[in-house]
Structure formats: C-alpha cells, structure tokens
C-alpha cells in the first residue's frame, strides 16, 4: 500500500487525456455559461479582445460576472482584485487538500497543474485519491477541458450569445453544483478531510454572522487551508 501511495502524485499524457474525456460532457454546460458571460460583457461595453482575454487568463466564472457588476471608471483595480480574490478564496482550501500529492512535484508542475484547478476537476481528483488512484492527471486534463470550453463559450457568446439570456431559467446553473456534490460524497472520507471541512464551515458561518459581507468566503477558505497545511499527509488516517 505504501508503494502505491507514493505514486499517486504521478501522471502522464494518458492520465491527462482520461481526465479531459471525463469532464468533456460537463464542459458543454461550462461553454453555455461562457457564452452568457460573453454576451453580458459585451453589453457592459467591454471590447471583444478584452472579454476573451479575461476568460483566458482569469478562468473564474463567478468572479468574472462579479467584476462586470463593478466595471466602470469609478472602480479601482484594487477593488476588483479584492472582489475576485474573495470569491475565489476557496482555492486556498483546494490547494490545502491537494498538498499531500502536490508537494512531490517540482514547482513548475505544481503551479502549472493548479492554474486550471476548479470545483469540478478538483472534486474528481480528490475522489480518485480517496480510492487510492492517481488524481493529478484528472485535475490537469479535466481542467484543460473546462478551460477550453469556457474560453470557446465566451468567444461564441461575443458572436452569437443573444439567444442565451437567462441560463438559470433552464436550470443550467445547478449542473456544476450537483456534479461537485456527487464527487465530494463519493470521495475520500478520512479524518483529515472531515476536519478541514468542519473548520472551514464553522469559520465561514461565524464570519457570515459577525464580519462584513462576503468575508465569510475568505475566512472559511483560509481556516480550512491552514488546517490542511498543518495536518499533512504523514498524519492522515489510513
């Protein structure tokens, strides 16, 4: 078992391709939301090049929509940056839960893989690790599928997005959430993962009750991330 665990961080082109194909069906819904973002950004007055560049470089749907709400000459870059960070602070928690396997990679590969980390491919990789299977190939391959779909959808939205006015009316906003929930329920359930989520949830609820609006996202992610960083692989329950 130890020898198998030592190789869980390894991945190759085949594993990346498997991850790509597994998330390709989900990426169709990502493309639809990308099209909705492209349309919304066009209506907000952004140029086509800026819209596509934003999706290519940021790759974070919720924060990109939030940025559109703030977009204007009176909003500073600092305000936009803080907003995007707050919404995506959950990536701190993702990084903490993946750290036991990421730590074995060179820095170039470690941060290269995390560039395309998102909810769905993170959950898929954690499920693989929970079943004692390599998961970083799924993380990278699945992330590439989602990223390509998001960029392509944004581009299509700029050109032809007029027919997608309200994705929520079709229930499409629930697809990614349902997929994530299914992956988490079927994933690893050791004491370390449980404590990370408990601490993150409690800290987030307290922040939601007592701290300024939206700060609970950052507080919960940081709290859970600290637990995951301190409680490393050597302390895991197996």
Report the 3 state secondary structure along 80-143: HHHHHHHHCCHHHHHHHHHHHHHCCCCHHHHHHHHCCCCHHHHHHHHHHHHCCCCCHHHHHHHH
Residue 75 has pLDDT above 80, yes or no: no
Residue 80 has pLDDT above 70, yes or no: yes
Span 92-112, average pLDDT: 88
- Diameter over CA atoms, the chain: 58
Mean pLDDT of the chain, nearest integer: 79
Give pLDDT, residue 116.
Answer: 92
Give pLDDT, residue 145.
Answer: 95
Span 152-161, average pLDDT: 85
Which sequence spans correspond to the domains of the chain?
Answer: 2-89+107-188, 189-238
Q: 169-185: per-residue pLDDT in tens?
A: 655 555 545 545 555 56
Least confident residue range of 149-153, 179-183, 224-228: 179-183
Give pLDDT, residue 167.
Answer: 56
Give pLDDT, residue 185.
Answer: 60
Give pLDDT, residue 160.
Answer: 75
């Amino acid at each position: 078992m130890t020898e198998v665990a030592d190789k869980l961080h390894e991945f190759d082109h085949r594993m990346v391709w498997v991850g790509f194909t597994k998330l390709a069906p989900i990426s169709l819904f990502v493309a639809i939301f990308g099209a909705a973002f492209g349309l919304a950004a066009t209506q907000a007055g952004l140029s086509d090049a800026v819209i596509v560049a934003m999706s290519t470089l940021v790759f974070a749907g919720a924060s990109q929509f939030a940025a559109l709400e703030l977009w204007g000459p009176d909003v500073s870059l600092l305000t936009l940056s803080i907003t995007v960070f707050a919404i995506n602070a959950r990536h701190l928690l993702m990084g903490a839960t993946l750290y036991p396997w990421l730590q074995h990679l060179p820095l170039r590969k470690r941060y290269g893989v995390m560039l395309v980390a998102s909810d769905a491919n993170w959950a898929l990789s954690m499920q693989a690790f929970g079943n004692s299977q390599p998961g970083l190939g799924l993380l990278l391959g699945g992330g590439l599928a989602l990223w390509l779909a998001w960029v392509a959808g944004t581009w299509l939205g700029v050109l032809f997005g007029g027919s997608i006015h309200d994705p929520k009316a079709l229930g499409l906003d629930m697809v990614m959430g349902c997929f994530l929930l299914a992956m988490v329920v079927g994933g690893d359930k050791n004491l370390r993962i449980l404590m990370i989520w408990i601490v993150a949830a409690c800290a987030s609820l307290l922040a939601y009750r007592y701290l300024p609006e939206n700060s609970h996202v950052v507080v919960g992610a940081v709290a859970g991330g600290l637990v995951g960083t301190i409680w490393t692989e050597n302390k895991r329950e197996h």
